[in-house]
Structure 1
Amino acid sequence: MTARKWSIAGQLFALQALVVTLLVTAGAVGAALLARADAREAATDEVLAVAEAVARAPQVAAALRTPDPSAALQPYAESVRIGTETDFVVVMAPDRTRYTHPDPTRIGQPFIGEIGPALAGHPWTVVNTGTLGESVRAVVPVRGPDGTVTGLVSVGITTNSINRKLLSRAPVLLAVTGAVLALAGLGSWLLSRRLRRQTHGLGPAQMTRMYEYYDAVLHSVGEGLVVVDAGRRIALINDEGRRLLGLPPDAPLVDRPVTGLSLPPALVELVTAGRAAHDELILTADRSLVANQRPTALDGRAHGSVLTLRDHTELRALSSELDSVRGLTEALRSQAHEAANRLHTVLTLVELGRADEAVRLATEELALAQQLTDQVVGAIAEPALAALLLGKSAQAAERGVELTVDPDSRLDVGTLPPADLLTVLGNLVDNALEAVATAPPPRRVRVRVTEGAGEVVVEVTDSGPGLPPEQVADAFRRGWSTKRDGRGIGLALVGQVVTRHGGRYEVGAAPQGGTTFRIRLPVGAGSPT
């Protein structure tokens, strides 16, 4: 495996191992140097203390006044040297003549080294080279009864002795260094293993390429993408997701809980539950979104969920128009069937020689149909809305419901988008027809559409059982329905149009019983086109 193919974890482990080794080695060398300096300082203090003790000993001052000082001082100096584990204890005359020495053959010879400060009465420590090699030594004056310097005492420890003591401690230092290296290496290996698991063994080039692809896909995908972690916080959201949910494009959303954002309640419930969802309809203030959610797991543990959103606003509007066209087609088919029956009746009457009755029957049917058509077309100039009302009239007739259009109804072409008008009026009429379906006769639905004072008012009144006031707010929420098998989408779509246009809705009891739904939609510069 070449270096350029190493995973990030492998490269990090190698770098950590190198850095830790260098740091531990530098620390060990520094510790050794400090120990050496401490050892020299300790040796200096030791030889100075021993030299001062010897110089103050009464027998030393007394021996220096005898004709042969070596006879008394040599055994004493050797006992002190052995007892203090120093390398030499030398007592000398002020003229450097040695009275004692570890090597008896050097007694009587001059002392090698600086003694000037000691002759002046000051203790003196120095690192110097003598007959035993380089040593740390102290030179202390011996004073007579009159205070004069009658001799000198030099005590020393060779550098080799100091180094031997340090080397005796080397195994401990090496053991500590090895333990630190082992612990550091273990820590680096554990960190590398964790990083390898988190990065799936990918190398820097692979990670870079993956990020570039991920970033390109994230910003170019046509669907909204929202990734939620196990704590129900936003882990990732793409540009389309922000747009569909109406979130600011530059707002920081990562790590924010979904409950803290202005999201539709249905979407919050879906994400919070973390359940799987397939093509579930979510209504925002101005959009119809289709949501798909799939929970994710890693190593058997819940890891959050992935939510995709598709904009079906236009498709929902087209679907609503298609439903209206289908309803109109069914109504025309029913009317054709009824017309065929009446035509056969008229023909039969003619064959029976009852022509006057045949003419009267045909004229009455034609007058009723023409009256309804003239009323709707004359009041509603918007052709799609007029066609919708004609179709709904035929549907109402099939269900035994009397649907009437208020004579005061007026609406010009282009006042509001036809798709929004179809959504509002179509769903209100459908709900009214459902409401009166189980009510006792007479079953009536009245429609009134007017324009004035800068707004369009769509009013639908039914003779059904009525809607309790406490259920009005819930009626415009997706999923609410008075029917067990109902999906509760119609009034939610109406509420979406009201919100998009900045309008309002009013729900109240009708004078003769039932419910009146009144939708007010502003027109003019403030209305979306």
Structure 2
Amino acid sequence: MRFSTQTLLLQLGVVLLVVLLSGTVHAWLVYERIGNEAENQALTLARTVAADPDVRAQVQDISKEQGTPPASVLAAGPLQQAAEAARVRTGALFVVITDETGLRLAHPEPARLGERVSTDPSAALGGQETTTRNTGTLGPSAGAKVPVYAPGTGSAGGTDGQGPIVGEVSVGYSVESLGKSLARDIIPIAVTAGGALLAGVLASFLLRRRLQRLALGLEPEEISTLVHDQVAVLQGVDEGVIGIAADGRISVFNAAAARLLDMPDATGQAWNSAPVPAPLKELTRPAAQDAEAVEVLAGDRVLVASARKAWHRTEDLGWVVMLRDRTELQQLTRQLDAVGTMSAALRAQRHEFANQLHTIAGFMSIGQHEQAKEYLARISATGPLKFPVEQAELLQDTYLQAFIGAKGVEASERGVVLKIGPETLVRGHVADPQDVTTVLGNLIDNAVNAAVAGSAAERWVEVELLDDVTGNGGTLHLVVGDSGDGLGALGPDEVFAEGFTTAEAPVRAGAGQGLGLALVRQLARRRGGDVRILDTGTQGGPGAVFMASIPGVMAAGGTDNGAGATPEKESDG
């Protein structure tokens, strides 16, 4: 049996039990009230009969005689007539008069005259008025017994009754008449009980329907299973899951979401006021129902966020936001970009190596040793590779030489000249190539894009580098300018906001357009540095100038990247 059916039956049983108990108690109270009224009515009638002077005189006369008159005499006597007249007039079951010994002087059944009463008369003969409910010769009844005093010495109910008691009057009303009165009064009780039962049944059905609707038609056992499964799944996955109910409250916020967003559990908070990145809230706007996944910067993490509308049949359940961590993938992608850029540059220079070797071989084969020597000296002076970067000889660190040289090849392919500023001075070597690649690469890429999109006739990007290797960790200072049209009226907050980009389309799918500047600023600030705008530029050029300071990425002395020599060794060579 379904739990909802069990609940309904239990509710109906409780309602029925309450109605029956209430009806029974009400009926019993009504019966008691009718019985008490019958006793009071019997007491009043008994007092009236006992106070009648004729009755008192007749009872006294009979009590003075020796013995009791025969039944035939009593049946025709005045006491019988008076008692029967009172009984008929009031509808009582009996009106009985006895002498001082309890023998009947008046009774509804003449054959029982002269007999002793069936109930104990001692209390009334002792001077007490009593009410009783008992069963006599005429059946069960509710009645009263009152003493009869001799004439002139007292009265029924009086306080001066010092004379002798010559008999008693017993009056009773049939229990069957009480039942008839109860039957008349029980109809409203039954109607009330029936109405209450009907209301209880209707309320039980309505409550059952509401519970089923709230529980989506699921039984408690199914809900319990779903809750256990939900907890196991939500807490066991690495992806962040945020559930937003239809009323705008966060209903699900798993541990992975708290970890990825670096915030405490937000369950129960209003989604619009929750401290989550703004792009996540934009995903749950009605207009963004079919929006594609977006990349979001949360602290030092790059997250891929997607949102889907949740429905159960036709009921709107709200939104489900999924978060996937792409930080490591972004780092690997940046490293791969750097490696790919350098490898592309090296492939571009392979022919130059081949041509140089062929030239040297040609000089040697024709015996022009001096010219071959001069040619080798010229190659040694300009470096083993010839990148299209002006003043590349100012760079001493081999990693910076290779990376900026490779960026120069890329820029040259897009018609942009990449040059090194004359104030460049790098005495140490790069100790953390990954962060340097991230910051420098993003700034150069943005500058190249701005130069390509600019209106200046000559397209160029200039990079100046200066290191400070004093202290525990060396700092690398970068300044990047371009020939673009500048930032115009845009402020720093807009430029470094997530999603800002001047590119019309990403260079490749999933390149994370709009995250570069925000990412490099957070990276630099995490190390204790910063990225800021030195000049917003002008229309027609020169363009914007960005400056970055990255502490802890440089080291003094010889290189440890295996690709170059110290400045001293370079000068000695």
TM-score computed with the length of structure 1 as normaliser: 0.79
Q: Which residue of 1 aligns with 2:15?
A: 20
Q: In the TM superposition, what whole-angstrom CA distance separates every residue of 1:58-80 from its partner, at most 9, and x where no partner exists?
A: 66556656778974454444444
Q: What letter corresponds to residue 393 of structure 1 in structure 2?
A: G
Q: Distance in 2 between matches of 1:342 and 1:85?
A: 144
Q: Which residue of 1 aligns with 2:174?
A: 158
Q: Which residue of 2 aligns with 1:447?
A: 464
Q: What letter corresponds to residue 238 of structure 1 in structure 2?
A: N
Q: Which residue of 2 aligns with 1:43?
A: 38
Q: Distance in 1 between matches of 2:175 and 2:532?
A: 104
**Match for residue 96 of structure 1 among 89, 98, 102:** 102
**Match for residue 460 of structure 1 among 476, 479, 482:** 479
* Kept after mapping to 1: 8 A contact 2:394/2:420: no
Q: What letter corresponds to residue 263 of structure 1 in structure 2?
A: V
> What secondary structure sits across from 2:106 in the alignment?
coil
Q: Distance in 1 between matches of 2:419 and 2:50?
A: 132
State the 1:158 CA deviation: 3.3
> What secondary structure sits across from 1:278 in the alignment?
coil
1:470 to 1:397, Cα distance in 2 relative to 1, 3 A: closer
1:243 aligns with 2:272: no
Q: Structure 2 regions of 5+ residues with no counterpart?
A: 63-73, 155-160, 362-369, 507-512, 554-573
Q: What letter corresponds to residue 479 of structure 1 in structure 2?
A: G
State the 1:462 CA deviation: 0.9
Higher mean alpha-carbon deviation, 489-498 vs 31-40, is at: 31-40
1:113 to 1:509, Cα distance in 2 relative to 1, 3 A: same
Q: In the TM superposition, what whole-angstrom CA distance separates every residue of 1:78-137 from its partner, at most 9, and x where no partner exists?
A: 444344443222333333233433323333433332334433443211223321233222
**Match for residue 284 of structure 2 among 251, 271, 279:** 271
1:323-362 equivalences in 2 (<5 Å): 323-332=337-346
Q: Distance in 1 between matches of 2:478 and 2:267?
A: 45
Q: Structure 1 regions of 5+ residues with no counterpart?
A: 1-5, 348-355, 525-529
* Kept after mapping to 1: 8 A contact 2:394/2:424: no
- Matched positions, count: 506
1:9 aligns with 2:9: no
State the 1:38 CA deviation: 3.6
1:387-402 equivalences in 2 (<5 Å): 387-398=402-413, 399-402=415-418
Higher mean alpha-carbon deviation, 80-89 vs 258-267, is at: 80-89
**Match for residue 517 of structure 1 among 546, 551, 560:** 546
1:219 to 1:371, Cα distance in 2 relative to 1, 3 A: closer
Q: Which residue of 1 aligns with 2:426?
A: 409
Q: In the TM superposition, what whole-angstrom CA distance separates every residue of 1:130-152 from its partner, at most 9, and x where no partner exists?
A: 21233222112345433234543
**Match for residue 152 of structure 2 among 136, 145, 151:** 145
Q: Which residue of 2 aligns with 1:109?
A: 115
1:70 to 1:93, Cα distance in 2 relative to 1, 3 A: farther
1:441-520 equivalences in 2 (<5 Å): 441=458, 443-452=460-469, 454=473, 456-463=475-482, 464-467=484-487, 471-483=491-503, 485=505, 487-498=513-524, 500-501=526-527, 503-509=529-535, 514-520=543-549
TM-score computed with the length of structure 2 as normaliser: 0.74
Q: Distance in 1 between matches of 2:170 and 2:13?
A: 49
> What secondary structure sits across from 2:319 in the alignment?
strand
Q: Distance in 2 between matches of 1:520 and 1:60?
A: 129
**Please, what is the CA RMSD of the aligned residues?**
4.2
1:219 to 1:400, Cα distance in 2 relative to 1, 3 A: closer
Q: In the TM superposition, what whole-angstrom CA distance separates every residue of 1:259-284 from its partner, at most 9, and x where no partner exists?
A: 34321121133235573443321210
State the 1:178 CA deviation: 4.1
State the 1:313 CA deviation: 0.7
Q: What letter corresponds to residue 387 of structure 1 in structure 2?
A: A
State the 1:242 CA deviation: 2.2
Q: Which residue of 1 aligns with 2:269?
A: 256
Q: Distance in 1 between matches of 2:346 and 2:248?
A: 52
Q: Distance in 2 between matches of 1:444 and 1:300?
A: 57
Higher-Rg member (1/2): 2
Q: Distance in 1 between matches of 2:381 and 2:54?
A: 155
1:180 to 1:501, Cα distance in 2 relative to 1, 3 A: farther
Q: Which residue of 2 aligns with 1:350?
A: none
Q: What letter corresponds to residue 281 of structure 2 in structure 1?
A: V
**Match for residue 435 of structure 2 among 413, 416, 420:** 420
Q: Which residue of 1 aligns with 2:299?
A: 285
